[in-house]
């Protein structure tokens, strides 16, 4: 046994377990998750922080950013054209970052904790609801006036980048609802990765000018 985690889960806390080993884990190591006798069967999320699993369900994104009423944003390398600041052209020239979590995501509970499919909270029996995540993608490099974050990168930059585009759309059409703003961004997104909506980038890279113009015309 290389390491164990046995935090007591009484149902009153976030059911989170962590097992870490400085030396890492050899290839073909096994992960064993034991269910206490009498406990209900339910799906759980296992994250190996980049290490591959021989058996896995599709979709790495999770948590609050992959919720039903949230907008999940994939990260696209700001300099993927390899020529400095340059407009995105789409397609294979502007892929998502390798660290950007892909989809889809299956959820089993409402925000209030009720089961979406009562009695069925498992992947193998198609419990819950399957969501198309991420929804959109955005550049992962941005400038900020916050000390230490000029510039800053990652999905942490892609999400506010997309939010800024949403704010621009709202500024040209103040009457737009959140759903209409998102639709304008989706309809004008620059397609990347697989053609059409895909598991890695959703509808594609949000484009500020195109989204604002769409809002003006619709």
In this predicted structure, what is the pLDDT of residue 154?
86
Whether the Cβ atoms of residue 214 and residue 188 lie closer than 8 Å to each other: yes
Q: Which residues contact 162 (CB under 8 A, 6 or more apart)?
A: 71, 73, 136, 138, 185, 206
The pTM of this model reads: 0.80
**Digit-coded pLDDT (tens) for 8-25:** 777 777 777 888 888 888
Q: Report d(CA 182, CA 71) in Å as an integer.
A: 8
pLDDT higher for 126 or 39?
Answer: 126
Domains and CATH numbers, the chain: 68-101+135-217 (3.40.50.200)
Q: Which two tokens stand for residue 211?
A: 């989204």
pLDDT at position 81 over 60: no
Residue 91, CA distances (Å) to 24, 60, 181 in order: 37, 22, 24
Q: Which residues contact 88 (CB under 8 A, 6 or more apart)?
A: 76, 80, 81, 94, 139, 190, 192, 205, 207
DSSP structure class, residue 100: S
Residue 70, CA distances (Å) to 47, 64, 137, 163 in order: 21, 8, 14, 12
In this predicted structure, what is the pLDDT of residue 53?
74
DSSP symbols for 16-71: ------TT---TT-----PPPTTPPP-------TT---SS--S----GGGGSTTS-
Whether the Cβ atoms of residue 66 and residue 131 lie closer than 8 Å to each other: yes
Whether the Cβ atoms of residue 98 and residue 110 lie closer than 8 Å to each other: no
Q: Report d(CA 165, CA 103) in Å as an integer.
A: 23
In this predicted structure, what is the pLDDT of residue 50?
64
For residue 202, which phi and psi values (nearest 5 degrees)? 65, -125
SS3 call for 152: strand
Q: Which of 103, 208, 214 is nearest to 162 (CA)?
A: 208
In this predicted structure, what is the pLDDT of residue 136?
96
């Amino acid at each position: 046994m290389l390491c164990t985690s046995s935090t007591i889960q009484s149902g009153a806390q976030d059911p989170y377990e962590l097992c870490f080993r400085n030396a890492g884990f050899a290839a073909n190591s096994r992960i064993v998750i034991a269910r206490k006798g009498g406990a209900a069967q339910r799906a759980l999320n296992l994250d190996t922080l980049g290490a591959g699993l021989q058996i896995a369900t599709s979709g790495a994104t999770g948590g609050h950013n992959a919720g039903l009423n949230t907008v999940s944003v994939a990260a696209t390398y700001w300099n993927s054209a390899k020529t400095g600041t340059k407009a995105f052209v789409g397609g294979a020239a502007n892929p998502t970052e390798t660290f950007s979590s892909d989809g889809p995501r299956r959820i089993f509970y409402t925000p209030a904790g009720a089961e979406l499919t009562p009695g069925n909270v498992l992947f193998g029996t198609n419990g819950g609801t399957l969501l198309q995540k991420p929804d959109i993608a955005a550049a992962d490099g941005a400038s900020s006036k916050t000390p230490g974050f000029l510039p800053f990168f990652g999905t942490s930059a892609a999400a506010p980048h997309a939010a800024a585009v949403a704010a621009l759309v709202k500024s040209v059409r103040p009457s737009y609802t959140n759903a209409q703003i998102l639709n304008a961004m989706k309809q004008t997104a620059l397609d990347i990765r697989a053609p059409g909506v895909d598991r890695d980038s959703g509808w594609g890279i949000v484009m500020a000018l195109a989204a604002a113009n769409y809002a003006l015309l619709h």
